[in-house]
A and B are shown apart, each in its own frame.
Chain A
Amino acid sequence: MLQHLLRRLLLGLFTLVLITITVYGLIRSMPGNPLTLLEGGDPMGIANPGVRTVFYREMEKEMGLDRHWLVGYFNWLGDLARGDLGRSLQDRSPVSAAIGARIGPTFLLSGTSLALAFLLSIPLGIYCGARSGRLPERAISTFLYMLFSLPSFVAALYLLILFSVELKWLPLRGMHSSDEALASMSAAGRSWDLIKHMVLPVACSTYASLAYYVRFIRANLQEAIRQDYIRTARAKGLGEAAVVVKHAFRNTLIPLATLLGLTLAHLMSGSVILERIFNWPGMGLLFFEAIGRRDYPVIMGLTLSFSVLVLLGNLLADLLYALVDPRIRFS
């Protein structure tokens, strides 16, 4: 087990190095360097050429652009080991602080939707698995199948048009109302405000994984129900609920545990688009903004953080797998 874990960790580290070196190498091998692009786009409004040259030299040195890109990469790695992700090109603030400020909202969104997806999918999946073939089950399954094929950004836009533009029930974007409105609210009012802002983003990031889980649980449950021990359980006179929940469903939990890790990857990648649509101040929105500004230190830092989160998710799935299934011994 320990050996397996170590192997996975090593592979994960290797993957991280590979991803970051690819992105770093590509940034450096593109025609023009981050600084000339910066001048072209001029996002910092540097008009004075003298200031620009001084600034340029300083930045060039700091970003290691005057050396070979591999040296630059290892410098970046070295800084990383000291917990320094560099400074944003935008406002010269530390990248780690920028990411730290955005990680909370992302986790609020993905955590809520992960919990919701699990809570809702288990009863639905059990129902669909046990009542397979009947009309309500087929209706639910078909509907969920359609949902699974509906991209979250399309759903988000449809819901926005319906609830925010036409009915005006829910806010269009952001995480809070404006500061003035917020100041006049009580604590309960503020949480209600947050919930109102959260409804659509959470719904959009939940439904796809919900649909997938239900299909997954249903398929596994049907597989389990065909087994001999279910016939035995029925033969000894157990009630249908006990047979399905205690005997059949428990055995579908094992593959379900592995899904948890994979969902994390899914949520992380979905967050870029959804946070952009709802203007939710999370890591995905920061990534999107950084790409628009070509803020390379931030792009590097976020690529790393997203990759770490996804790899941690995979690792977690692996661990859970071993934890819930006593038959599995990694050796």
Chain B
Amino acid sequence: MGKSWLRDYIIKRLIYAVIIAFGILTITFILLRVGPNSPADKYLANIAAHGGDPAQVQAAIEARYGLDKPIYVQYFEYMGNLFRGNLGWSFSTSMPVIELIKTHWIYSFQLILLASIFAAILGTLIGIYSAVRQYTKADYAFTFLSFMGISIPTFWLGIMLILVFSVKLGIFNVYYDTTLPLFSLENLKALVLPVITLGTGMLAGYVRYTRSNMLDNLKKAFVTTARAKGLPERTVIGKHVFRNALLPLVTIVMFDLGSIVFGGAYLTEYVFGIPGLGQISFNAVFANDYPVVVAVTLISTFVVLLVNLATDVSYTYLDPRIRYG
């Protein structure tokens, strides 16, 4: 029988996820269409400069992409295509949206995944160390560095890393090379600077959260009891204190992951020339490329909802007392 209540809970949440995603998709679709901007906007000055009629060209461009139809017709057509797996045609990149996303998602995914792993592992270890060695020089040093890490703008850090490690020392390429095989050491090497850039702010945050949670738990009675029982300090810290400190940390890590998926990796992608979904979606917004914006919003929504679900499920394993009705 196991955790049948958990299975029911997951099914219920997945149904909610579909409903929420559908709602967000509809709102995004309508907001984009009722706005004053048109994908033809950027053409207009150029058209007028050639003596053309901007209004006529705007109408023609909108007709070319079916934007001249009533909004409800566009909406039902879009939904019909969506259920057939067709996300539309990107008019700012001239390719099917599904192809665009299939080509580019991996660049964002590998960056986000590696940066999260880098930040979570290193941040946790440093946080534990800082808490256990509270008020030592090492603790002060890590505290100082973590505040720096939180404060440094991603943009600036990326450029500084490039100038030092790529231009001056010549260790890494200045920009990310998309021709490298995905599962190769060269690709891993090419991701070092972007991962550090994206992960530093997260790492610094995790150091502070871990340290704070560890210190809270270190003061609790069960720690005194464990020590009184004569358990080795490593076991007290690792098995008792850290496990209890882990729960809020998992929430923060998952929350970060969700916010990165919603474009938080954009600046890192921008600096290192990584053609990930962050860049694709930002460019689509500025180009009024509605099909891409809607599709990326839809995917991001699903990812965030699934990450939240995974977070909730992980709680039940980290703390067996937790049950969802």
Note whether A and B form a binding pair: no
Give chain A's interface residues, CB within 8 Å of chain B. none
